[in-house]
Chains A and B, each alone.
Chain A
Amino acid sequence: MLEITESPIDRAKVDAAVDHPGAGAIVTFLGVTRNNFDGRPVTGLSYEAYPEMATSEMAKIVAEVQQRWPGAQVAVVHRIGELVVGEVSVVISTSAPHRDEAYQASRFAIDALKARVPIWKKEHYADGAADWKANQT
């Protein structure tokens, strides 16, 4: 399951996509819209994607996870459009035979997503200003 969506994300569906009888652990990562940037009040975020390429880059990350952690499965759903504070922007569910691989693969997947998947974020501030924000690299 790899998706870019304008709708709120159903977390349970993303978990279900990686749940299988051989899974001993499922780690769910949620990216959530924070109410401030370094103390400056934030009211919401806009996300934009290069959808075709975002999906194909996500597929590459999943393939890398499966190579590095045999038996692991990853599902990724990223929301785009307008989000208010507290809403979930991304869900990454990772299953693996054991919890150690599930945690490691989950961390790898979100870090790789932030570095490589073509998605952009604009922060909207309470004072009316807005900025495109880059991930830390």
Chain B
Amino acid sequence: MHEVQVRYFAALKEQRGCSEETVAIRPGETAQQLYERLFPAINGQRLTVMFAINQHYAQPETQVCTGDEVAFIPPLGGG
């Protein structure tokens, strides 16, 4: 099985109801595509996020690979 570990934070954690899960990926799936699959738009809207793969920021079009840790990073609020 081709799977990644996905971590959720803040509003996405509340929406998903868990902080992480193992998700099967599709061939060639990008971080953005994975996000859109896991978080379908509500009323045509979806939170704009950044992406992290293996704890480094990544471009939305980066393909996710088996074993990756993928995180969707909602708008930051630190400080």
Is A133 a contact of B77 with CB atoms below 8 Å? yes
Q: How large is the interface on A (under 10, 10 to 19, 20 to 34, 35 or more residues)?
A: 20 to 34
Complex Cα gap A114–B9 (Å): 16
A117 at interface by CB-CB < 8 Å: yes
User: Which of A48-56, A63-71, A95-103 lies on the face that meets chain B?
Assistant: A48-56
Shortest C-beta distance, A132 to chain B (Å), equals 5
Q: Which residue of B lies closest to A58 (CB)?
A: B78
Tally of contacts, chain A with chain B, CB under 8 A: 72
Please tell me the number of chain B residues within 8 Å of chain A, measured between CB atoms.
17
Is B78 a contact of A47 with CB atoms below 8 Å? yes
Residues on B lying within 8 angstroms of A by beta carbon are 7, 9-11, 13, 52, 55-57, 71, 73-79
Residues on A lying within 8 angstroms of B by beta carbon are 31, 47-50, 52-54, 56, 78, 89-90, 110, 113-122, 132-135
Q: Which of B9, B52, B55, B75 is within 8 Å of A48, CB to CB?
A: B9
Is B79 a contact of A48 with CB atoms below 8 Å? no
Shortest C-beta distance, A57 to chain B (Å), equals 8
Q: Which residues of B contact A31 (CB under 8 A)?
A: 79
Is A134 a contact of B76 with CB atoms below 8 Å? yes
Is B76 a contact of A118 with CB atoms below 8 Å? yes
